Structure 1
């Protein structure tokens, strides 16, 4: 099968409601809330070929809100392209969108890899080479509410939930604290969670840019040193993009830094790590150019002798991590006592669920061809609010 021509591009827009979370007062950030109901928006991209093979990829706008508009702008160009030429399509779009954030590349590339796997009757994990069958996972919490009334409203509540996660089998937990940057409360949380889970559990902290000053970032970092945290992620309001600031922080604390979630593309990731701005690298198939883009970042990290950690849960990330040596944990999040099943509802037989881990704290990888996650077409039809077709 030398050529597989794309004959149509379909983009479906979906809307659904999720229980157990709500938005904070700003409306920007999700927080755990027992009776909360959050409205979510997402998309399904379908690339149909002349051989009857269709590549599919889904995402939510909470992570990648602008990809659909970019895909719409090149859908006509995609029709007629050879679906096997992933690298050329990636490179052409990388140039075409050089003035933009290139978020549209990720969904397109993932759908192309789905086509390839279905054509060759192999899973994405197998096509990437395969390295392991089980993935160590960490429980990654939702934010706490600033009022302190929700299921993660206090340091004590975080400690209780972390202990529950360990009882389920997790050997690692990541904390997203509060969005108001109360540093004393953040430090109490760091110490309380460590006391609750003991010394043998890997703990991470991701303030998601909540801390106002470098002094705040440093104060919490020193507490992390004392409590022997595994990594410290994107603490400052500059967004985790200043290599200078985090090189300086690395000189002042011992806890390794994980930066790069808000840095787009291979070259920017390379510049950040070579400037000394991080210890671990971060990559995301939705944000960093799909499977192809993540592999470029992962191989860069491997060449430098460091690790790459994949941002957020998804079947694509399970496949990619299963083929990487230099990656430590799969992110199971964002979870809370009020929200345990967190994946997109349109999969027929796949989910990310807090209780999924085994006694060793690991999760499996999807089985089948391509992304190996058939869609629940009935659920999708029930939640579809718009559709665009280009042929």
Structure 2
């Protein structure tokens, strides 16, 4: 079996309705949707796809498919995923591929393998569970009363925990963290994500507040380019740190955080920021070897498969970006995400795909 087709297709993705915000200093949800699909086909008819949704997705992927991926992949064996992962890694040295593009080829090849075997990808990865609890991962809301209202709604809808994305102000965020803990009581798991809004002194200040309030983990308070700053933060606060979400370098970067003592809860893993399914699993196994967690980032379809395959992950991250709260369709009334059953990985449902791609939709 040889790869004979490498194609990119444009997909219009509706903007978020209603639009939502992240912390002060960051842009909110995109005003217009932009998506793309990478499709890899073979001489036997076996094929796989991977989906990319973010501003500029089509322009980036169409160029890369034509000028970088196609020359490399045509004629290759699609089942040699390790070899092809290394080839894309080599290409990244010159082309400086965006993080969210680095793993697209690998994800499409895993989708192809699942379709070829008639199995969902999480089962090809070995399979660990068939369901996992979901937490509500908030966007940024207006004030403390609205956050408390959103938390009440999320818990009533079945979510098993709440993760805050707040304003990026250490004092204000600390007040919110304490207010939410007092409001929901001691048993509800709470997490905090700083979206890289702080320097080290403010990250320490907020970390003390989160530790006092009994939060489960403290995620990305600073940009993840200074491992030494994260190591200093880990030494200064009691709350465990979850690190390595957005920094370059796949599992190798995560290893440096762990070696420095900065990953006191664990590391983030994902297909879109850690080099596809292969890179995500390498990161998870790395963390497991140190008895750390590998929490899966995001709520796209590849994430569903990773959550079912990785033993040392705790929750599924389900975005809550509106008030009134709408529970994600993939999460049931008991707050559980269940394992996919269709072969491969699939494309998101409900989008207007070019002719022939709709057969891949979930």
Q: Deviations over 1:2-48 (max 9, x none)?
A: xx2111111112333321114679884226xxxxx831211111111
Distance 2:4 2:28 in 1: 39
- 3-state SS in 2 of match to 1:171: coil
Matched-pair contact (CA < 8 Å) for 1:12–1:43:
yes
Q: In the superposition, relative to structure 1, how do residues 357 and 375 fare at CA in structure 2: closer, same or farther (>3 Å)?
A: closer
- 3-state SS in 2 of match to 1:20: coil
| Pairing of 1:1-391 with structure 2 (within 5 A) | 4-15=1-12, 16-22=14-20, 28-30=26-28, 38-61=31-54, 68=61, 69-72=63-66, 73-99=68-94, 100-101=96-97, 103=99, 104-143=101-140, 152-178=141-167, 181-211=168-198, 213-236=199-222, 239-264=223-248, 265-279=250-264, 280-337=266-323, 340=326, 352-353=328-329, 356-359=331-334, 361-371=335-345, 373=346, 379-381=352-354
Larger mean Cα displacement after TM superposition, 44-53 or 19-28: 19-28
Matched-pair contact (CA < 8 Å) for 1:20–1:339:
no
Q: Structure 1: any 5+ residue segments left out of the alignment?
A: 32-36, 144-151, 342-351, 385-391
Q: In the superposition, relative to structure 1, how do residues 66 and 334 fare at CA in structure 2: closer, same or farther (>3 Å)?
A: farther
Matched-pair contact (CA < 8 Å) for 1:17–1:38:
yes
Distance 2:166 2:211 in 1: 17
Q: In the superposition, relative to structure 1, how do residues 7 and 272 fare at CA in structure 2: closer, same or farther (>3 Å)?
A: same
Q: Deviations over 1:264-290 (max 9, x none)?
A: 212111112111122211111012110
Distance 2:97 2:37 in 1: 20
Distance 2:184 2:204 in 1: 24
With structure 1 as the length reference, what TM-score do the two structures score? 0.82
**Structure 1 residue 339 displacement after superposition:** 6.5
**Structure 1 residue 116 displacement after superposition:** 0.6
Q: In the superposition, relative to structure 1, how do residues 378 and 86 fare at CA in structure 2: closer, same or farther (>3 Å)?
A: same
Distance 2:64 2:255 in 1: 25
- 3-state SS in 2 of match to 1:208: coil
Distance 2:23 2:281 in 1: 38
Distance 2:79 2:160 in 1: 39
- 3-state SS in 2 of match to 1:18: coil
Larger mean Cα displacement after TM superposition, 111-120 or 37-46: 37-46
Distance 1:225 1:128 in 2: 35
Matched-pair contact (CA < 8 Å) for 1:284–1:294:
yes
- 3-state SS in 2 of match to 1:308: strand
Matched-pair contact (CA < 8 Å) for 1:13–1:42:
yes
> What CA RMSD, in Å, does the superposition of the two structures yield over aligned residues?
2.6
**Structure 1 residue 55 displacement after superposition:** 0.4
Matched-pair contact (CA < 8 Å) for 1:47–1:54:
yes
Q: In the superposition, relative to structure 1, how do residues 27 and 240 fare at CA in structure 2: closer, same or farther (>3 Å)?
A: closer
**Structure 1 residue 332 displacement after superposition:** 0.4
**Structure 1 residue 308 displacement after superposition:** 0.3
Q: In the superposition, relative to structure 1, how do residues 219 and 201 fare at CA in structure 2: closer, same or farther (>3 Å)?
A: same
**Structure 1 residue 378 displacement after superposition:** 7.1
**Structure 1 residue 241 displacement after superposition:** 2.8
Higher strand share: 1
With structure 2 as the length reference, what TM-score do the two structures score? 0.89
**Structure 1 residue 340 displacement after superposition:** 3.2
Q: In the superposition, relative to structure 1, how do residues 57 and 378 fare at CA in structure 2: closer, same or farther (>3 Å)?
A: same
- 3-state SS in 1 of match to 2:15: strand
Aligned residues: 349
- 3-state SS in 2 of match to 1:164: helix
Q: In the superposition, relative to structure 1, how do residues 288 and 63 fare at CA in structure 2: closer, same or farther (>3 Å)?
A: farther
Matched-pair contact (CA < 8 Å) for 1:138–1:171:
yes
Distance 2:322 2:270 in 1: 22
**Structure 1 residue 184 displacement after superposition:** 2.4
Q: Deviations over 1:129-154 (max 9, x none)?
A: 111110111110112xxxxxxxx200
Matched-pair contact (CA < 8 Å) for 1:162–1:196:
no
Distance 2:25 2:57 in 1: 17
Distance 2:321 2:350 in 1: 26
